[in-house]
Amino acid sequence: MEQNHVTIVGAGIVGISIALELQTQGFKVRVLDRSGVANEASAGSAGAFAFADIVPLATPGIMLKAPKWLLDPLGPLSVPPAYAVKIAPWMLRFWRASWRDRYQAALAAQSTLNGFSSTALERQIKNVDGEPLMQRDGQMQLYEGEQEFRASLKSWEVRRAFGIAFEHLKSPEEIAEIQPGLDPRFTHAAFTPDWMNTIDPRSWAEHLAQAFKTRGGEIERVEVLALEQSGDGFELMTPNGPLKASQVVVAAGAWSHHLARTLGDRIPLETERGYNTTLPAGAFDLRTQLTFGGHGFVASRINGGVRIGGAVELGGLKLPPNFKRAEILLKKAAQFLPTLNTADGKQWMGFRPSMPDSLPVIGASPRASKVIYAFGHGHLGLTQSAGTAELVAALICGKTPAVSTAPYAPTRF
Ligand SMILES: Cc1cc2nc3c(=O)[nH]c(=O)nc-3n(C[C@H](O)[C@H](O)[C@H](O)COP(=O)(O)OP(=O)(O)OC[C@H]3O[C@@H](n4cnc5c(N)ncnc54)[C@H](O)[C@@H]3O)c2cc1C
């Protein structure tokens, strides 16, 4: 096999971004995906390039708050009883990740990757003439009353320390200047102007995939069952027989650890399942992304309509979806945005690929230096896709990556 050939498993936003970046740098790239382009998590995200979201989920003290959330089976965080035992080892690592020193390290690493990804995204947009698919409208985090707002101030100081721009709004009138039509229970807000959204995450991934194909890239629909070392290369086992590869990238989202396992690598990847309902154009005049942090969901503008989504369900890859979660979020949204037209919504559930410390895995397999892992971006896969692509390309080219990939090493657990 030629040394400048790369095979990527996974055509989600991460795999497609890597494919395009490697192709731009002169590699011949083939992408394998069992379900086509962006048919899993990358299809239904909120479409946010959430560069201001630098605080990991495992914050100090979170394990004291979590049991209260878990008492409500349809609350923002849930663990279906059928999955409670299976998720326990991951939860233990999550708890360790919330220890102050580890949290501080993860915070710095998340901030670095988000910052780098925002500049990489601008290069990616230019590369594919992607500006028409972007919405540069910022984001507003909403608070119900002074007490909730005050409780958030510490986290805004953390963001300030990492250079995130924001403005605090302290009355419903100030909020209405940016977003009219909100229930007056929201008395305070924080607006992050540098936040961006795509008009539709599926269309964005398809746009990148189209550019990749037009420039000679190949996308093949096939399931990869296992990776095996063979001579100085690899065989990718598929239902149609083995495919040979000299260099492999695993970007298979929430399923990536299964492939890593076939090489002998154990990586503590889990899924945080999320839900949403997408309402058609005209449902509400949404002018910025709205984040209802206390309720664990957001409202974002998708194709001129509104997507109401969020929730974290630690329920693994096999249990059937519980669309009551999507209904609950939509009901709440209708209270918070009294003129929201909730008719004709389309429900969806997706699998966020999540590591216990909220950081992705970006780095070579400890058992095979020519297999690069790029997965586990959790809530930030779209946000960090362009940055991840540049880091992976640097690793494959043998160049020093623009930011150190040590915090994202597959061996860190
Ligand atoms: C409700 C919700 C809202 C979200 N909102 C945002 C947001 O606003 N901003 C943000 O940055 N992130 C958001 N996320 C997270 C984001 O969607 C994910 O982090 C991101 O899509 C992960 O991309 P990926 O390419 O790694 O995985 P995926 O999109 O899941 O792609 C993985 C691909 O690998 C393929 N695959 C898997 N196994 C195999 C195999 N064995 N053989 C062949 N193919 C295989 C799958 O078919 C799939 O196409 C959200 C997630 C959810 C659920």
Q: Which residue's CA is the closest to the ligand 1 atom numbered 21? A: 42
Burial of 43 (0-12, 13-18, 19+ CB in 10 A): buried
Query: For a pocket test of ligand 1, which of 379, 385, 388 has the largest count of ligand atoms closer than 8 A to its C-beta?
Result: 379
* CB neighbours of residue 6 within 10 Å: 25
| Alpha carbons 212 and 210: distance in angstroms, whole number | 5
| 250 Cβ closer than 6 Å to some ligand 1 atom | no
Atom of ligand 1 nearest to the CA of 33: 44
pLDDT number for residue 2: 65
Atom of ligand 1 nearest to the CA of 13: 25
Q: Which long-range contacts (CB under 8 A, 24 or more apart) does 319-325 make?
A: 319/80, 319/82, 319/83, 321/273, 321/275, 321/349, 322/80, 323/275, 323/347, 323/349, 324/74, 325/74, 325/78, 325/275, 325/349
* Ligand 1 centre distance from Cα of residue 377 (Å): 8
Residues 334-341: what's their mean pLDDT?
Answer: 98
Q: Give all domains of the chain, ordered by start, each with its CATH number.
A: 5-43+202-268+358-408 (3.50.50.60), 54-99+133-197+269-354 (3.30.9.10)
pLDDT number for residue 1: 55
* Ligand 1 centre distance from Cα of residue 254 (Å): 7
* Ligand 1 centre distance from Cα of residue 380 (Å): 10
pLDDT number for residue 70: 77
Per residue in 165-195, pLDDT tens?
A: 999 999 999 999 999 999 999 999 999 999 9
pLDDT number for residue 71: 73
| 24 Cβ closer than 6 Å to some ligand 1 atom | no
* Residue % of the chain over a pLDDT of 90: 94
For 102, phi and psi rounded to 5 degrees?
-70, -40
| Cβ–Cβ under 8 Å, residues 351 and 317 | yes
* Ligand 1 centre distance from Cα of residue 13 (Å): 7
Atom of ligand 1 nearest to the CA of 259: 41
pLDDT number for residue 75: 81
Residues 81-104: what's their mean pLDDT?
Answer: 95
CB-based contacts of 155: which residues, under 8 Å, 6+ apart?
55
| 125 Cβ closer than 6 Å to some ligand 1 atom | no
* Ligand 1 centre distance from Cα of residue 251 (Å): 9
| 9 Cβ closer than 6 Å to some ligand 1 atom | yes
Query: For a pocket test of ligand 1, which of 40, 192, 261 has the largest count of ligand atoms closer than 8 A to its C-beta?
Result: 40
Structure tokens belonging to residue 355: 């590591």
pLDDT number for residue 137: 97
pLDDT number for residue 180: 98
| Mean pLDDT of all residues belonging to the chain | 96
| 13 Cβ closer than 6 Å to some ligand 1 atom | yes
Instruction: Using pLDDT thresholds of 50, 70 and 90, give the confidence band for residue 394.
Output: very high
Query: For a pocket test of ligand 1, which of 134, 377, 384, 385 has the largest count of ligand atoms closer than 8 A to its C-beta?
Result: 377
Element containing residue 112 per DSSP (H, E)? helix 100-127
DSSP, collapsed to helix, strand or coil, labels residue 369 as strand
| 360 Cβ closer than 6 Å to some ligand 1 atom | no
| Alpha carbons 194 and 383: distance in angstroms, whole number | 12
Per residue in 273-306, pLDDT tens?
A: 999 999 999 999 999 999 999 999 999 999 999 9
| 229 Cβ closer than 6 Å to some ligand 1 atom | no
For residue 208, give the nearest of 123, 128, 135, 120 by alpha carbon.
128
* Ligand 1 centre distance from Cα of residue 283 (Å): 26
Atom of ligand 1 nearest to the CA of 15: 25
